[in-house]
Amino acid sequence: MLDPVTRQHVEKAAEALQDEFAGTFSRETIARFIAESVDLLGESKINVFVPVLAHRFTRERLKALGQAEGLITKEQPEVLFVCVQNAGRSQMAAGLLTLRSGGLVGVRSAGSHPAEDVNPLAAEALAELGVDLVDAFPKPLTDEVVRAADVVITMGCGDACPIYPGKRYEDWEVDDPAEATSLDEVRSIRDDIDERIQQLLGELEVPVLS
CB 10: neighbour CB atoms within 10 A?
22
Set 83, 131, 149, 151: catalytic member: 83
Residue 83 falls in the annotated catalytic set: yes
187 carries an active-site annotation: no
Q: Is 157 annotated in the active site?
A: yes
Which CATH superfamily, name and number, covers 78-203?
Answer: Response regulator (3.40.50.2300)
What pLDDT score was predicted for residue 45?
60
Query: How far from 16 is each of 22, 69, 155, 197, CA to CA, in Å?
Result: 10, 22, 34, 34
The domain ranges of the chain are 4-68, 78-203
Cα 169 from Cα 27, distance rounded (Å): 34
Neighbours of 34 (CB within 10 A): 25
In Å, what is the CA distance from 118 to each residue of 31, 130, 134, 199?
27, 17, 9, 25
CATH (one of 3.40.50.1970, 3.40.47.10, 1.10.8.1060, 1.10.3720.10) for 4-68: 1.10.8.1060
Same fold, 4-68 and 78-203: no
Per-residue pLDDT, 43: 56
Task: Using 50 as the pLDDT threshold, list the residues of the chain that sit under it.
Answer: none
Quote the pLDDT of residue 3.
84
CA distance 137 to 150: 23
Q: Which residues contact residue 210 at a Cβ distance below 8 angstroms, ignoring those fewer than 6 apart?
A: none
